[in-house]
Amino acid sequence: MNQQEFWNKKYLRDGYLYGKKPNAFLLSCIGNFKKTQRFLCLGEGEGRNAIYFASKGFDVVALDASDIGLKKLEVLAQEAKVQVKTKCVDLNNWEPSKKYGSIVASFLHMYKDDREFLFKKIESCLKEGGFFVGEFFSTNQLKYESGGPKDIDLLYSIDDFSNSFLTCSKHKIEEVETILDEGKGHQGKASVIRVIIQK
Ligand SMILES: C[S@@+](CC[C@H](N)C(=O)[O-])C[C@H]1O[C@@H](n2cnc3c(N)ncnc32)[C@H](O)[C@@H]1O
């Protein structure tokens, strides 16, 4: 099953799997993002982050492999009376054609072997001074039942980020234990990697 089939099946169910509120860590970083520059959400799913940042005046583009997730994002955008540009694409095939002032991702489960290529694309399409901010499940998440994949190749370590983004300043790359309260999909104690990286 490819990523689109996998995620479409999940998003076909009623409701918003990770809720409608933005990810708390991305929200806490809002001060890093410039409203005058394009804002890109990677693996944005049903759109909770995209809608929030669009409602705050950012010019948001959301990418995801799931067309069902992005349709639900569009419904949420209409309800919130905001505009978000969407594109259904597998990030392994994504070819960035624009530059972005901000790039965010919450719980984007990319396979370990695909990360380096994606990180290079993120680095290349960030504007000088722009930020990449993300929260990802760490390999230690395997011991928790609060959500996330049970396949270690989809979980992250600090090294994944410290060995990449070589032209950037790494303000934060840390592994923390937190309590997630994000819809039905993420509930309870979790181990995450948080990154704040600046071009
Ligand atoms: C756990 S969900 C998180 C969704 C959203 N970021 C959130 O936090 O609510 C992971 C998302 O990443 C997307 N995704 C996973 N692998 C992808 C890939 N290779 N290309 C594009 N999207 C992908 C899935 O379709 C899914 O929407």
43 alpha carbon – ligand 1 mean position (Å): 4
Distance from the CA of 45 to the center of ligand 1, in angstroms? 5
Residue-level length of the chain: 199
- For ligand 1, atom 3, name the residue with the nearest CA: 107
Nearest to 108 by CA among 68, 73, 137: 137
Residue located nearest, by CA, to atom 14 of ligand 1? 43
Round to whole Å and give the CA distance between 33 and 132: 9
Average pLDDT, the chain: 97
Phi, psi of 160 (to 5 degrees): -55, -35
Ligand 1 lined by 65 (C-beta under 6 Å): yes
Cβ-based neighbour number of residue 8 at 10 Å: 17
Distance CA 193, CA 161 (A): 9
CA–CA distances in Å: residue 132 to residues 14, 39, 50, 185: 31, 10, 15, 24
Q: Ligand 1: which of 5, 6, 27, 64 to mutate, most ligand atoms within 8 Å of CB?
A: 64
pTM for this one?
Answer: 0.98
- Decide: 189 and 179 in contact? Cβ < 8 Å: yes
Tokens read off for 6:
């996998």
- SS3 (DSSP) at 111: coil
Rg of the chain over all Cα atoms, to the nearest angstrom:
15
Report all structural domains of the chain as residue ranges with CATH numbers, in order of start. 3-198 (3.40.50.150)
Both tokens of 118, joined, read 């994606």
Mean of pLDDT values over 120-144: 98
Query: Band of the pLDDT at 1, cuts 50, 70, 90?
Result: confident
For residue range 26-71, list pLDDT tens digits in order: 999 999 999 999 999 999 999 999 999 999 999 999 999 999 999 9
Instruction: Give pLDDT, residue 57.
Output: 98
76-124: pLDDT as tens digits: 999 999 999 999 999 999 999 999 999 999 999 999 999 999 999 999 9
Read off φ and ψ for residue 126, nearest 5 degrees: -85, 135
- Tokens representing residue 63 in the block: 């990418």
